[in-house]
Amino acid sequence: MSLREPLKPPPLLSVRDLSVRFCQGDGEVTAVAGVSFEIQRGECFALVGESGSGKSVTALSVMRLLLSQGTSLLGDVLLDGVDLFSLPEQAMETFRGGRIGMVFQDPMTSLNPVLSIGYQLGEVIARHQGLHGEQQRLEAIAWLDQVGLPDPPAQLKAFPHQLSGGMRQPRPLM
Ligand SMILES: Nc1ncnc2c1ncn2[C@@H]1O[C@H](COP(=O)(O)OP(=O)(O)OP(=O)(O)O)[C@@H](O)[C@H]1O
Ligand SMILES: [Mg+2]
């Protein structure tokens, strides 16, 4: 019998040698310099660093949401083996919000202040799951339940300013 190492499952997310540079005036700012990490399925991963060290820019790069002109983005991001940086934008839109999501740092500017929580969740559910009407409402209630918000049907009618800061940035209960 041969002694073999147990097979390590392929990572869910793999970031390899990510570098991000922004053009600023005549020069360049290096926001991320050669960052690599892997996240396994079901793993809770924390990226820690001082203010301005590039955590948000790393997350925004993975989501392909860095829109500044003249931004140089190098490296590879693989989600379940799919190279996100090579995907056409249309395919990326299916991944973004479908397979990979982001809780933004400032929820007051991420959520639309004039649309109810139910409407904003409904847009995502319609786009990625094709659900409408009552089915969509039930799915939104299930989502809010998953993140432990009390009275989900009432939250659907609420507007962002009626939720607390923490309620605007919920995470699934572990
Ligand atoms: N669009 C941009 N154009 C130019 N520079 C930027 C841009 N976005 C971020 N930066 C710079 O990139 C660096 C990293 O910023 P980032 O927002 O990733 O920091 P952070 O680690 O998330 O900080 P915090 O803990 O304060 O949220 C900073 O020096 C910031 O000024
Ligand atoms: Mg940040």
Token pair belonging to 25: 């005036």
| C-alpha distance from residue 14 to each of 17, 33, 77, 103 (Å) | 10, 16, 6, 19
Which residue's alpha carbon is nearest to atom 1 within ligand 1?
Answer: 68
Residue 2: its pLDDT value, please?
Answer: 59
Q: How far apart are the first and last CA of the chain?
A: 39
Say yes or no: CB of residue 148 within 6 Å of ligand 1. Answer: no
Say yes or no: CB of residue 18 within 6 Å of ligand 1. Answer: no
Centre of ligand 2 from the C-alpha of residue 55, in Å: 5
Domain positions in the chain are 13-86, 108-168
Say yes or no: CB of residue 51 within 6 Å of ligand 1. Answer: yes
Mutation probe of ligand 1 site: the residue of 20, 29, 32 with most atoms within 8 A of C-beta: 29
pLDDT, tens digit only, all 174 positions of the chain? 556 777 778 899 999 999 999 988 888 899 999 999 999 999 999 999 999 999 999 999 999 999 777 889 999 999 999 999 999 999 999 999 889 999 888 888 889 999 999 999 999 999 999 999 999 999 999 999 999 999 999 999 999 999 998 899 887 776
Which residue's alpha carbon is nearest to atom 16 within ligand 1?
Answer: 54
Residue 110: its pLDDT value, please?
Answer: 87
| C-alpha distance from residue 125 to each of 102, 130, 137, 172 (Å) | 15, 7, 9, 17
Centre of ligand 1 from the C-alpha of residue 7, in Å: 38
| C-alpha distance from residue 39 to each of 5, 47, 78, 141 (Å) | 20, 11, 10, 29
Centre of ligand 1 from the C-alpha of residue 158, in Å: 32
Instruction: Give the ligand 1 atom nearest the CA of 66.
Output: 1
Token pair belonging to 89: 């934008």
Residue 3: its pLDDT value, please?
Answer: 67
Q: In sequence order, what are the residues at sequence separation of 6 or more whose Cβ sits closer than 8 angstroms to the Cβ of residue 62?
A: 13, 15, 77, 84, 100
Say yes or no: CB of residue 61 within 6 Å of ligand 1. Answer: no
Q: In sequence order, what are the residues at sequence separation of 6 or more whose Cβ sits closer than 8 angstroms to the Cβ of residue 130?
A: none
Say yes or no: CB of residue 56 within 6 Å of ligand 1. Answer: yes
Centre of ligand 1 from the C-alpha of residue 76, in Å: 20
Residue 127: its pLDDT value, please?
Answer: 93
